[in-house]
A and B are shown apart, each in its own frame.
Chain A
Amino acid sequence: MTPLEIVAMVLLTVGGVFCVIGAVGLVRMPDFYTRMHAASVIETLGAGLVLVGLMLLAGFTLASAKLVILGALIFFASPTATHALAKAAHESGLEPATGGEREKGPE
């Protein structure tokens, strides 16, 4: 393997590990709102590292450009979907487990 391939493999593996960590959090976390935070680990660091690793392998090509578009899609769309989920859950009356009422105003 060339050095570039080793770097790419490390990035891919670390990205995959972060995906697994996010998914473990998705299973472990106690309520819906905390699970959202676990899922966003998958969508940011996990997806980001895997895409960067693939871009290293692709080099400066059209495939790389498509991976950039894929990354931009995740970058712009995933917070929107997460926010839509959070808002829908909040409006349906799902209460977050906050360990006592700790809703604070702006400092």
Chain B
Amino acid sequence: MRKVSAAVSLFVFWILLSGYFTPFLLTAGAVSAILVVAFARRLELVDPEGHPVDFSGSALVYWPWLFKEIAKSAWDVSKIIVDPKLPISPVLVRVRSTQASAVGRVTYANSITLTPGTVTILAGRGEFLVHALTAEGAASLAEGDMDRRVTRFEGAR
């Protein structure tokens, strides 16, 4: 099932990039997609990590929330930058991560980094070292709202 979905997504990607709908190019695209999946299978790349299609449902719930958070904190960081006093209070904090799988931890670490104002420096098992631009940003991250949402995102497949 995962192989079929990987091949289909690759084929869609081919069509989007080429933009030609002649029979020859469509066949070439299909053959390429199938060949790539066959090679990836030999390399053991078509697994829940390489093609995490199981998460697409919960991503539709999680991503809009993430986009909202990104916009909010980008606005906050922009206000700090244009403020003549530059009111920053950088801190290093350790935050707990309750995700079980590697995909979940990567999602959480990437979400922290994508949100302006917080960057994951070290991503270990169960605990991340995070650099925050302001103490308030660090405090709101330590509340663990994002952590819970990512754990739900990871668990809801």
Contacts and interface: CB of A to CB of B under 8 A. Distances in A.
Does a CB–CB distance below 8 Å link A and B in the complex?
A: yes
A22 interface: yes
Given A41-B81, A96-B90, A103-B93, A33 B127 contact: no
A21 B80 CA distance: 10
Contacts of A22: 78, 81
Contact of A34 (B115, B127, B133, B142): B133
Given A65-B16, A104-B94, A106-B95, A37 B78 contact: no
A38 B116 CA distance: 7
Contact of A99 (B89, B114, B117, B127): B89
B114 A41 contact: no
Nearest to B131: A33
Contacts, number: 127
A105 interface: yes
Given A45-B71, A106-B127, A87 B122 contact: yes
B38 interface: no
Contacts of B142: 104, 106-107
Interface residues of A, number: 43
A79 B22 CA distance: 38
Contacts of A78: 114
Contacts of A69: 13, 16-17
A105 B93 CA distance: 7
23 contacts: A36-B119, A40-B113, A41-B74, A44-B74, A44-B115, A44-B116, A45-B74, A45-B75, A69-B16, A69-B17, A78-B114, A82-B113, A83-B120, A83-B123, A90-B121, A96-B90, A96-B131, A98-B92, A102-B135, A104-B92, A104-B94, A105-B94, A106-B142
